[in-house]
Each structure stands twice: as structure tokens, then as C-alpha cells.
Amino acid sequence: FITVSLDDLADIKTFVPKFLNEMNAEMPAYLLKTADESAAITMVAKDWNGNLPLTVLFTSTGETAYVRKGKIRYESVIAEIDKVLKPVVVSDRQIVDLPTNMTIYSFEKGVTDARRDIELRTYKVIRYGLTPEIPPTQIARLKQKYLVTVSETGCLVPSGYVEYVRGYNETIMSTLQKKYGNEILAELKFAQNL
């Protein structure tokens, strides 16, 4: 989910944050500032005239699945989301997309991939499985101060992936320690001993 505001720049720092806070909105919020608002409006929905609020749900292929002009009811939107996410069912068997990438993971591959990323100056730390949430402020500070991003892979842990992550993270953290000193290790404590 994202929100897009068409408010003036002056309002984006006052009314918009207040409104999003009242709505308990935790999704990214963007400001649309364009010279041609009607072209931007048409890109969102062809039959939309710009009235707000507008809610649009898209499928994973980018097709419009649901459009609602005006206020929404939570239950209605949830029902529409469920329709979009409903799996295709053939008889009593569920069709699901399974990963077909048969990458062989190992400690050595993690080290090799980390070295490639270091050459590209792409510093990231990989996390996997059920891990505690990192505060967004900490993630933003890592990116701003050290150019480090955090990659979350979720609960699916393929064979050899634990060793791959260990090799990758150790190599990245060693390089970052040389570049920034020991203070970076305190910042990346969440990635040590995964």
C-alpha cells in the first residue's frame, strides 16, 4: 500500500502528516507534484476526474482490480483484496507458484557475492527467517550514514542458505568495519550470529 497526496507543498508538512497519523497509516506516503495534473490523473484511472479520496487496487500484473471514488469501508476493501489474492483452485488442489531457481547456496558463494557487491559499493546485510523487526529509524540511519541496506528474505530458507548468509554478512561487515571502524558493528549487531 502507498498513499499519494495532491496537496500543496505547504500542506505536506502540516495537514497531510496529521491526517495520516489520525488514520494510523503506516504505508509510504508520496506527494504528486506535476505541471500536468490531468495527465497524472488519467494515468491512475481513465474515468477518474481527480476527486479525492480515490482507492485503487491493482493485480500483481498491474491490471486494475478495484476502484472506489470517495470514502471506503474497511470491510469492503478487505473483501476486494481477498478477491485479488484468492488462489486459483483446480478441483481440490491449490495451484501455487513455487520457486524454481535451483541456486546452490554455500558459505563460499556468500563470500563471492559479497565481494561482487563490495566492488559495486552495494553494501547490504541479509536477514532470514523469523527475525525481530528493526526500527525504521535505524534502517534509515544505516542507509544515510553508511549506505547500507537491509535485505529480508522471509521464512523460506533453502538448503545451504544459512551458511551463505554467514559468508555474505561476515565479508560485508569486515569491509564496513575497515571503512567505518567498530561503531558500525554496534549498528549492525542485529545481523551478527543470525
Per residue in 102-142, pLDDT tens? 678 899 999 999 999 999 998 999 988 767 778 888 888 88
Q: What is the pLDDT of residue 160?
A: 85
46-76 burial, b if ≥16 CB within 10 A, otherwise e?
eeeeeeeebeebeeeeeeeebeeeeeeeeee
Comparing CA positions, the residue from 50, 187, 164 lying closest to residue 109 is 164
Rounded average pLDDT over 25-35: 75
Name the pTM for this structure: 0.48
**In whole angstroms, what is the distance from residue 85 CA to residue 125 CA?**
30
Q: What is the pLDDT of residue 5?
A: 76
**In whole angstroms, what is the distance from residue 55 CA to residue 84 CA?**
14
Q: What is the pLDDT of residue 156?
A: 65
DSSP symbol at 147: -
Q: What is the average pLDDT score of the chain?
A: 80
Rounded average pLDDT over 11-21: 75
**Helix, strand and coil in the chain, % to nearest 5:** 45, 15, 40
Position 51 pLDDT exceeds 70:
yes
* Radius of gyration of the chain measured on its C-alpha atoms: 22
